[in-house]
Structure 1
C-alpha cells in the first residue's frame, strides 16, 4: 500500500522516515527540492518525487506536514494540488496546525471529490517525531481514521480520535496554550535560580521529577542550560498558533491573559535577528523565551 508524504521539513522528514523504517512504501515530496529531508527519507528506504502528481498517484493514504493555512490549502485543494491527482477514496491526513475552520473547509472540499480528510495535528516536538512517540489528535470521520491508524501508529504512541472534522485542531490549540504558558513558568524558574545562585542542572534534574515537572522543563530545560535555542518547535510556528488561538475567541485577549503574556514574550525574542543564538538561519525555538528574561 502506497503512502505519500508531502512536506519533509524538521518534523515531516522524521515522521516519514519512521514510516519507511517500518517497511511501508513511502513516497515523499517537498515544496523546496534538495532539502535534507529528501536524502533522509531515501536513506531509510523511501522514494522522493518532484511533483505532487507523481507522489500521490495510486496512494491509499496521503500525509501532509506543512507550515501555515495557505500552504496546506494550496497543496491539498489548490490548482495542481492533491485534489487534482489523488484517487477517489484516498485518506488524507494533515499534521499541520491550521485551526478548526480551515480544517472543516478542507474537509468539505475534499469530500466533494469523494476523498476523506482528517485533521491530525501533533505534539511532542522534534524529539517525539524522531522517536515515533508523538501525540496525534485526529478530527474527522471514524472510518478513514481506522484505515489510516496502521500508519499513524508508526509515528505516534498516543493517538486519539477526537470527534468530527476540526476537533483535532481545537484540541491542538488548547495544547498550544499549555505549551506557551508553561514556558513562562520554566523561564521564570530559571530566572529565579540565576538570582539565587542555584545550579541550573539541579533545577532540571530535581524538579523534573516533582509536582512542578513538565515536558518543557525536562526536554527544553537542558537546551536552555546549553544556550541552545535552535528550534525543535520553531518560534515562528508558535506565534502562528497563538494567532489562531486568539482568532478563535474573536480577538478577546482579556479572556486568556496568561496566553497573551506568553505571546508578547515570544514576540520580544522573535524580533531578534538570531545571530547570537538559534539555528544557522537565525531561527529560534520556543525555549528562546528565556532570552526575554535577561
Structure 2
C-alpha cells in the first residue's frame, strides 16, 4: 500500500484519513490545530499523527489536503514549510478542498516545476459521506495520476469520476454547489408551508422523499430542519465561500444563486457570527428572522 499523507483533519478530513488507514494505507496525518475532534478520529482509525507538514509528507507517495479556502490551500501546499518544500519528486498531491478552477492552474504549475503531480478532487456528501466512505469525488488532472490514486479514492468514496483535465473537478463541484444550495431553498420553504398548514414537517420528508421531489437534501437535511438540528455536516461558512467561487467563475447574475447566498449570509451573521459554524440546514433560520 502507498505511503499517504493527509493534511486537514476537520469535520470531514478526520473521517477520510481514518478510512484510508482502515483501508490498509500507511497514513501520516497532520492538522494545524492539534486538539480538534478530527485528529482523534484519524488517530483512532489507525492514522499516525505527525507534528509538522514535513514529518507528514517527506516519505509520502500521495499527499491529500482537505482545508478551507484558496489561501489555506496555497499556504499548505506552496507556503513556507509547505508541501512543495518537502514532498519528494514523483509524489502526487490530491487537493480535496473546494477552491474553484481559477486557483488550480498556478498550484499545478508550481508543483510541476518540482516534478510533483497535482489532482483537484473536491468532494460531496457531507460528514455522513466522509464517515461512511460514500463520498462523491470529482477529479481533474492527468489520467495516469488519477488511475494511481483511484484505489485511495475508493477507500473514501463510492462515486468516483475523472472529470477531465486540471480544474475540471472544481468545475463540476461548483455545479454541484448550485444544485445543493438551491435544493435547500426548496426544502426550507416546503418545511415552512407544512408548518403553516399544521402538517408535521417530518411527514413531508417521509412522503415527498419517495416521489419526484426526493433528494439527498430532503432525506438528510430535511429531517434535521424538522428536528431543529443545526449541527454541522457542511458549514454555512463553507457554502458561502463556494457560492462566491461560483459567482467568480461565471461572472454573471444568477438569481437563484443570489437568493441562496443572501439566505446563507443572514444565518452566517447570527449569534455574533457564530451562525457561520452551523450546518447548511440552518438556512431555515433566515426565514425565521424574516418572520420576526
Shorter chain as normaliser: what TM range?
Answer: over 0.9
Q: Which residue of 1 aligns with 2:148?
A: 147
- 1-structure distance, mates of 2:171, 2:68: 17
3-state DSSP of counterpart to 1:10: coil
Kept in 2, the 8 Å contact 1:88–1:115? The answer is: yes
- 1-structure distance, mates of 2:187, 2:42: 35
Q: Which residue of 1 aligns with 2:282?
A: 288
Instruction: For 1:234-249, list aligned pairs within 5 A.
Output: 234-249=235-250
The count of aligned residue pairs is 287
Q: Which residue of 1 aligns with 2:262?
A: 264
- 1-structure distance, mates of 2:217, 2:264: 15
Instruction: Point out the structure with the larger helix share.
Output: 2
3-state DSSP of counterpart to 2:64: strand
Kept in 1, the 8 Å contact 2:28–2:49? The answer is: yes
- 1-structure distance, mates of 2:94, 2:217: 27
| 1:170-225, Cα deviation, whole Å (9 max, x unpaired) | 01000000001111100010011011111111111111110011111000011111
Kept in 1, the 8 Å contact 2:191–2:226? The answer is: no
- 2-structure distance, mates of 1:102, 1:293: 34
- 1-structure distance, mates of 2:41, 2:264: 31
Gaps spanning 5+ residues in structure 2: where?
none
Q: Which residue of 1 aligns with 2:179?
A: 178
3-state DSSP of counterpart to 2:90: coil
| 1:48-95, Cα deviation, whole Å (9 max, x unpaired) | 111000100110100000001000001001121100000101011001
3-state DSSP of counterpart to 2:271: coil
- 1-structure distance, mates of 2:98, 2:221: 21
| 1:105-148, Cα deviation, whole Å (9 max, x unpaired) | 11111011100000000001110000000000000001111111
- 1-structure distance, mates of 2:11, 2:218: 21
Q: Which ranges of 4 or more aligned residues in structure 1 deviate by more than 3 Å? A: none
- 2-structure distance, mates of 1:63, 1:229: 29
- 2-structure distance, mates of 1:35, 1:127: 18
Deviation at 1:274, TM superposition (A): 7.1
Greater Cα offset, 100-109 or 38-47: 38-47
Gaps spanning 5+ residues in structure 1: where?
none
3-state DSSP of counterpart to 1:231: coil
Kept in 2, the 8 Å contact 1:274–1:284? The answer is: no
- 1-structure distance, mates of 2:235, 2:211: 28
Kept in 1, the 8 Å contact 2:184–2:281? The answer is: yes
Q: Which residue of 1 aligns with 2:271?
A: 273
Kept in 2, the 8 Å contact 1:63–1:94? The answer is: yes
Kept in 2, the 8 Å contact 1:83–1:113? The answer is: yes
Q: Which residue of 1 aligns with 2:42?
A: 41
Q: Which residue of 2 aligns with 1:59?
A: 60
Deviation at 1:22, TM superposition (A): 1.3
Q: TM-score, normalised by structure 1?
A: 0.95
